[in-house]
Structure 1
Amino acid sequence: MNVPEIRIRQLNQSPLKDDGDYVLYWMIANRRIRCNFSLQRAVELAKRLKKPLVVLEALRCGYQWASDRMHRFVLQGMVDNRKQFAETPATYYCYVEPKAGEGSGLLETLAEKACAIVTDDFPCFFLPRMLEHVAPRLPVSLEAIDSNGLLPLRAASQVYPTAYAFRRFLHKELPPHLLETPKTNPLTHFKLPELKKLPGDILKRWPMASDELLQATPQVLADLPLDHQVGPAIFDGGAEAAHQALKRFLDQRFDRYADERNLPEEEVTSGLSPYLHFGHISAHDIFDHIARREHWSVEKIMDQKATGKRSGWWQMSETAESFLDELITWRELGYNMCWQRDDYDQYSSLPDWAQTTLEEHASDPREYTYSLEEFEQAKTHDPLWNAAQTQLVTEGRLHNYMRMLWGKKILHWSESPQKALEIMIELNNKYAVDGRNPNSYSGIFWCLGRYDRAWGPEREIFGKIRYMSSKNTARKFSVDGYLERYSHQKRQGALFD
């Protein structure tokens, strides 16, 4: 099956060259083999042209918030990819930039002998600007392929203001797209000519990442120009770790998910968002596992009415529908915003009502006001908020419910809502492995009113923005174990030695 046209975006006017030496897949977001429309498209072109396939996975070091944490996660994914591509006819070429700027020119040099270039269409962080910058300079065709979610990005022609509105759209438009799924492994059952070797001048200037480098030990990372204060997360990266996390969720947590996902002391969430962000697993793959578990087929929903309700439409179990609402509705709602609005990460993107009410209360007195440094070091008066920040810093993740409280209190204790947004983005993107993602921006901006409605009673500082407090959280849920766990980590010197 060919990649659906709606998922293919032509980025330049350069031609496809039949006389090139290979088709190049420039892997920048979908860092995997399984269920990857981008790889599938590259295989299609290579098969049509009867040319070898080269897969370039590169890692620069000059990106914003570059750290041991983010680099290690990507490098671990490269280990898995090298192993998996070794069993295919494709040539896998992974390059890790030793100093900022030293990878410059690699893509253009590879393009000189390419028939065409295929890359990943990702609507967030620096990737859209990078593609816009490089596309006109390439001498061959460059296509960006959307393998982000179950709904193609360009299937929606507007930005949806609420999850309910987007859910109604999904109910109406998604079913036909569920019939167009990516191949599990696009390289299976295809006979492609193999490239004997990459040009020596390329490997001399931009050497292949060594096995030692890909191990991402502290000693290896210390030699790279990264933020070494942000240490590794407590979980590993890569496709293998992603599928282990999925199996663990389905085997041990799934049945408890609907009832216990908001409990801070419990770990029943999937833990898949970092792997989705870095492309080590796909939403299609996760959905397929859920569907098979539920003995479900797409025919069950082909004639369903578009209600916009959170449950009942999929005709699956309550737990499955609860999880799919997060995986599809809420996750892809963020992608819907990011690909259509360049200011998705700016205060100006908030709904008018939210900006109005926040402006009306911008000068309200604040009992507590903290700086970025005080927030970062978990030095507030609130033990529960400090515990959440400690989890983020030490583990590279934040409990789903606590993330909402974390953001709301930054708004409460910052000198202005604009400053609160700046602090949330900085801390989330610096420490959360799943940061810098459309879904994480949804969570941050939700704290300021995006995808929400006006709430009463109107309060100081918050105005009509939904209010949350540590006291109410502790009243709703048991938090003693959460407090003890992360206060203990802080006492042990895990923070800012």
Structure 2
Amino acid sequence: MSQVPAIRLRTVKEAPVRRDGDWVLYWMTAQRRPRYNFALQHALHWCEELGKPLVVLEPLRCDYPWSCERFHRFVVQGMADNARAMDRKGVTHYPYLEPEPGAGRGLLAAWAERACVVVGDDYPAYFLRHLPRAAARQIDVRLEVVDSNGLLPMRAADRTFARAYDLRRFLQKNLLEHLAEAPESDPLDETEPPRSKPVPDEIAERWPAAEPRRLLDEKDGFARFPFENEVPTVETLGGHVAGEETLLAFVEEKLEAYGDQRNQPERDATSRLSPYLHFGCVSAHQAFDEIADREQWSPKKVSSKTAGQREGWWGMSPAAESFLDELVTWRELGFNMCSRETRHDRYESLPDWAQKTLAEHEDDEREHVYTLEEFERGATHDDLWNAAQGQLVREGYIHNYLRMLWGKKILHWSESPRAALDIMLELNNKYALDGRDPNSYSGIFWVLGRYDRAWGPEREIFGKIRYMTCDNTRRKCSVDGYIDEYAPSDGQLKLGFD
């Protein structure tokens, strides 16, 4: 088993490795997959060195912010996939679903008590970013977390990038050396750790393991959980099996049209990978490998003549380079911000020029002002915006281009820029499968000027913030069928289970 690059490792608990322990513990919280997973690979490396079995603890709280059946089911579907993958290799996979707030307290410490070392996921956003530090206070064994988020290690950047162009230039100078240190595609196939010992009775009795497949088969299995929100499930399946199928279907059937058609809401040319990337079901490395294989790419094709341009550096087709700019540049931009700026989700993190121009126009008269509830129910005067909100509520997704318009009009129709930010965060985090993610924070804050520049002419409400209109979108895109599909027919969307 090859070693994980040191730049991706971070020791959170400086304690000795307990060489006489019973197992190596992988605490799976963000990278919920058995393939292309640096953290799993690192845990297996410890198994090889120590001659110990592997235990994978995959827990899920019931009271995480914006908790709901939609997100819970997506994760549990992945747990079922992971259980099958681990079982085939004789690895103990212990899924735990907290039945009530606080019930899971002490579970990690109980497993860690007999562990040689604990390996966890290093994720820079949402409540997950606080977990390693909290865990370090509860255990007395070495805790290491691993960055398996993107092609560029989070600690490889030398600064917080203010523009995609600047990060793109940095990537074009530095990314190839990190691509050469890719994760094992299937680390469970690369080694065979000793068989795990039985689950301790005291753990099994106090924190009974979940039965993901049985729960998914029950008609009202999720009704027992005290979720914060009533948000129904969606047709999109969670887990690495569905995620890999989605990736392969995109590469084989839709990539060619991606460059020209991805901004057309009525064309199915987008990848639909963002939920799988967010929940860690699919790795950015795996997505890159599939694209590179299709393009018959090698590092020798990289151009030395580009300097921050969107296309031309990779030496791939325009469609492939367009997709990689989203997967690599824009996605990594969000991880760069979240890993380096603790206030990345606060209004004050906006560029100074954006805060200034929004403040200058905060008191401008607004023709339309809607409340959070009116936005949530798609009860605005514009049927295209209502349709975008309808897709979010129904599918947990908004077409990429319309998501930008969705945010710009919330800014336009809210009582203040700060209120607009609160509304965007609430709706996106409550309904979007890919919400609560560094990449989604990038999109929301882009609406308010992050990663952008001042635009003219200066307008009411927006000031120098980039402006978008529903009418212009109708001229650029075919949207009549989209509106028919998603806009509420009776004036407002049905929410929750009503």
TM-score range, shorter chain: over 0.9
Work out whether 1:83 is the aligned partner of 2:84: yes
* 1:477 Cα deviation from its structure 2 partner: 1.0
- Closer/same/farther in 2, CA of residues 208 and 294 from structure 1, 3 Å limit: same
Q: Does 1:474 align with 2:446?
A: no
User: 1:79 is paired with a residue of what secondary structure?
Assistant: helix
Structure 2 residue 220 is matched with structure 1 residue 219:
yes
> Quick check: 181-190 or 26-35, which moved more?
181-190
- Equivalent residues of 2:89, 2:192 under 8 A apart: no
Letter in 1 for 2:241: E
Q: Partner letter of residue 444 of structure 2?
A: I
2:287 match: 286
Aligned to 2:74: 73
Mapped contact 1:14–1:138 kept (Cα < 8 A): no
Change (3 A) 1:199 1:47: same
* Pair 1:158 & 2:159 matched: yes
Contact persistence 1:76–1:214 (CA under 8 A): no
> Which residue of structure 2 aligns with residue 16 of structure 1?
17
Counterpart CA distance in 2 for 1:33 and 1:364 is 52
CA deviations over 1:66-97 (Å, ceiling 9, x no partner): 00100000000001001111111321111111
Q: Secondary structure at the residue paired with 1:11?
A: strand
Segment of structure 1 superposing worse, 424-433 or 179-188: 179-188
Letter in 2 for 1:269: T
Measured at CA, do residues 489 and 208 of structure 1 come closer, stay the same or move farther in structure 2, by a change above 3 Å? farther
SS of residue in 1 equivalent to 2:241: helix
Q: Given the alignment of the two structures, is residue 415 of structure 1 paired with residue 410 of structure 2, yes or no?
A: no
**Residues 243-268 of structure 1, C-alpha deviations (whole Å, 9 max, x = no match):** 11112212221111100000111121
1:314 counterpart = 2:309: no
CA contact (8 A) 1:79 1:214 kept: no
Aligned to 2:5: 4
Q: Which residue of 2 aligns with 1:233?
A: 234
Deviation at 1:216? 6.3
Note the alpha carbon deviations across 1:196-227, whole angstroms, 9 max, x for none. Answer: 31101100111111245541655011111114
Mapped to 2, the partners of 1:84 and 1:469 lie a distance apart of 48
Alignment correspondent of 1:99? 100
1:381 aligns with 2:416: no
Q: Which residues of 2 match residues 442-461 of structure 1 at below 5 A?
A: 442-461=442-461
Number of aligned residue pairs: give it.
496
Q: How does 1:98-247 map to 2 (within 5 A)?
A: 98-211=99-212, 213-215=214-216, 217-227=218-228, 229-247=230-248
Verify the 8 A CA contact 2:24 2:46 in the aligned structure 1: yes
How many Å separate the matches in 1 of 2:207 and 2:272?
35
3-state SS of 1:225 partner? coil
C-alpha contact 1:57 1:95 (8 A) present in aligned 2: yes
Q: 1:348 to 1:11 in 2, by over 3 A?
A: same
Compute the displacement of 1:152 (Å). 0.4
Which SS does the other structure have where 2:189 is aligned?
Answer: coil
Q: CA RMSD in A?
A: 1.4
CA contact (8 A) 1:2 1:41 kept: yes
Say which is worse superposed, 313-322 or 133-142, in terms of deviation: 133-142
* Distance in structure 1 (CA, Å) of the matches to 2:292 and 2:103: 45
1:431 aligns with 2:418: no
Per-residue CA deviation, residues 344-393 of structure 1 (Å, 9 max, x unaligned), is 00001000000000000011011111111111111111111111001100
CA distance in 1, matches of 2:467, 2:491: 30
Between the aligned partners of 2:414 and 2:192, the Cα distance in structure 1 is: 59
Secondary structure at the counterpart of residue 330 of structure 2 = helix
Query: Conserved in 1, the CA contact under 8 Å of 2:33 and 2:280?
Result: yes
TM-score by length of 1: 0.97
Q: Look up the match of 2:372.
A: 372
C-alpha displacement of 1:135: 1.2
**Rounded Cα–Cα distance in structure 1 between residues aligned with 2:41 and 2:5:** 11
- Label 1:343 to 1:493 Cα distance change in 2 as closer, same or farther (>3 A): closer
Comparing 291-300 and 451-460, the one that deviates more: 291-300
Alpha-carbon distance between aligned partners in 1 of 2:193 and 2:310, rounded to the nearest angstrom: 45
In the alignment, the residues of structure 2 paired with residue 77 and residue 31 of structure 1 have an alpha-carbon distance, to the nearest angstrom, of: 7
DSSP 3-state at the match of 2:233: coil
CA shift for structure 1 position 290: 0.3
Cα distance in 2 between the residues matched to 1:212 and 1:315: 44
Confirm or deny: 8 A CA contact 1:160 1:336 kept in the other structure.
Answer: yes
Match of 1:396 in 2: 396
Q: Offset of 1:138 from its aligned partner? A: 1.3
Q: Which moved more, 1:484-493 or 1:77-86?
A: 484-493
Q: What CA distance in whole angstroms lies between the structure 1 residues aligned with 2:488 and 2:338? A: 38
Separation in structure 2 between the aligned mates of residue 378 and residue 488 of structure 1, nearest angstrom: 7
Superposed CA deviations along residues 177-201 of structure 1, whole A, max 9, x for unmatched, are: 1100100111214131111311011
Q: SS at the partner of 1:86? A: helix
* 1:28 corresponding residue in structure 2: 29
* Alignment-mate amino acid for residue 339 of structure 2: W
Kindly tell me: are residues 240 and 413 of structure 1, through their superposed partners in 2, closer, same or farther at Cα, counting changes over 3 Å?
same
Partner of 2:262 in structure 1? 261
| SS of match in other structure, 1:58 | strand
Other-structure match for 2:39: 38
Deviation at 1:487, TM superposition (A): 2.4
Query: What is the rounded CA distance, in whole Å, between the counterparts of 2:300 and 2:5 in structure 1?
Result: 20
Cα contact 1:172–1:305 (8 A) shared by 2: no
Q: What is the rounded CA distance, in whole Å, between the counterparts of 2:245 and 2:369 in structure 1?
A: 42
SS of residue in 2 equivalent to 1:188: helix
- Cα distance change of structure 1 residues 211 and 273 upon mapping to structure 2, 3 Å threshold: closer
Asked if the contact 1:31/1:280 (under 8 Å) is kept, the reply is yes
| 1:193 to 1:489, Cα distance in 2 relative to 1, 3 A | farther
The alignment-based identity, stated in percent, is 55
How far 1:308 moved relative to its partner? 0.2
CA distance in 2, matches of 1:335, 1:260: 27
* One-letter identity of the residue aligned with 1:469: T
In the other structure, the counterpart of 1:361 is 361
Greater shift, 280-289 or 81-90, is seen at 81-90
CA distance in 1, matches of 2:415, 2:319: 40
CA shift, 1:236, in A, is 0.6
Q: Which amino acid is 2:283 matched to?
A: S
Name the CA distance, whole Å, in 2 between partners of 1:458 and 1:129.
Answer: 40
Instruction: Name the CA shift for 1:107/1:198 in 2 (closer, same or farther; >3 Å).
Output: same
Is the alpha carbon distance of 1:347 and 1:218 closer, same or farther for their aligned partners in structure 2, counting shifts above 3 Å?
farther
CA distance in 2, matches of 1:315, 1:171: 12
TM-score (norm 2): 0.97
Matches within 5 A, 1:310-349: 310-349=310-349
Specify whether residues 495 and 62 from structure 1 end up closer, same or farther in structure 2 by C-alpha distance, changes over 3 A only.
Answer: closer
